[in-house]
Amino acid sequence: MNLSDILKDSEYKLSQFKPDEVAWLEQSIFLKSSTKGDVPYIRCLVRGKDIKLTPEEAVRQLYFK
C-alpha cells in the first residue's frame, strides 16, 4: 500500500516529512478484510492498537515518529 493512494483525495502533503519516515509508515501498513474490501490499517504508536489508516491518521503517525 502506498501513502499517495491514501492521501490522493485529501489536501495533505508529505513534503514536510523525511523520505525515511514516509517509507517507515508505508512499510507498517497492513490490510484487513471487510465487507467493502481490504482496508489499510497501522499499529498506532501512542495507543498500541490497530487503527484504520485515514489521511488524518497517516499524518498524525508521521508526526509521532
Distance CA 46, CA 16 (A): 21
Distance CA 18, CA 26 (A): 13
Distance of CA 2 to the CA centre of its chain: 9
pTM of the full predicted structure? 0.86
- Res. 4 pLDDT band, cuts 50 70 90: confident
With vertex at residue 2, the alpha carbon angle to CA 62 and CA 35, rounded to the nearest 5 degrees, is 105
What pLDDT shows up at residue 1?
75
pLDDT digits 0-9 by tens, 10-51? 999 889 999 999 999 999 999 999 998 999 999 999 999 999
Of residues 47 and 1, more confidently modeled: 47
Domain boundaries, the chain: 3-64
Q: What per-residue confidence (pLDDT) applies to 2?
A: 86
Element (H, E) at 39: strand 37-43
Quick one: CA dihedral 33, 36, 41, 47, positive or negative? negative
Average pLDDT, stretch 45-63? 95
